Amino acid sequence: MRARALLFDFDGVLVDSVAAVERAWGQWAGEHGLDPATVLAHAHGVRTVETVRVLTPHLDADGEAARIEEREVHHTDEVHAYPGAAALLADLPDGAWAIVTSGTHRLAAARLDATGLPVPDVFVTADDVDAGKPAPDPYLLAAERLGVPPEQCVVVEDSPAGAAAGRSAGMRVVTVLTTHTADRFDEPTVMVDSVAAIRVTGGDDGVLRISTRGGA
């Protein structure tokens, strides 16, 4: 594939935060008599506040989301960069990539700091949009801030909601199979096991040439 920008989801793509996420959401599920597996199935890839609204509409969604985030922020010792993530980002020119996460800026920044991954020029979080994934808004905002047309962007995602957001934005999607199995996705561009399978080279024309290996 050729593109002018790569837009990365964060958790499940660049960083492995599964342990921290499962601990925080598991505690919350227990407090409200909910099945942890059902909660996690809703939580992956979407904004915390939206998961709370769907599962517990009788609660103060903003207040509950803040408490869940507080727990996640304090479990960054359980967060690690995926193999290959740092090397891939190092190969990308400034202004040719962004992070687009369903987490808040505070949570994503804490995890970036814990992993040592670079902070991109464009960093779209749950705080920046009214409608989160699977709506296209987060990815469209990232493309706008980079000054790149949506059709010239490639999204790297691990969740069905995120992949749907990328496609709705008119972008091609690469799915990494770190948190979901292949049968959960509807027509992503290509599937790979992790970001370690993605290679990017760029020429003087500003075009990124993206190849994959070891795909599913």
Domain that holds residue 61: 18-77
Same domain as 171, residue 122: yes
Residue among 11, 16, 137, 158 flagged as catalytic: 11
Same domain as 156, residue 168: yes
Cis peptide before 118 (omega within 30 of 0): no
pLDDT digits (tens, 9 = 90+) for 132-160: 999 999 999 999 999 999 999 999 999 99
Same domain as 73, residue 155: no
Same domain as 125, residue 59: no
Active site residue 130: no
d(CA 161, CA 184): 10
Same domain as 111, residue 60: no
d(CA 30, CA 42): 15
Active site residue 9: yes
d(CA 183, CA 162): 15
- Beta carbons of 215 and 192 less than 8 angstroms apart: yes
Closest C-alpha among 1, 2, 3, 8 to residue 163: 8
Q: Provide the residue-wise pLDDT of the chain in tens; the chain has 216 residues.
A: 999 999 999 999 999 988 888 888 888 899 999 998 888 887 777 788 888 999 999 999 999 988 888 888 887 888 999 999 999 999 999 899 999 999 899 999 999 999 999 999 999 999 999 999 999 999 999 999 999 999 999 999 999 999 999 999 999 999 999 988 888 887 767 899 999 999 999 866 789 999 998 544
3-class secondary-structure state, position 203: coil
C-alpha 82: how far from its chain's center?
13
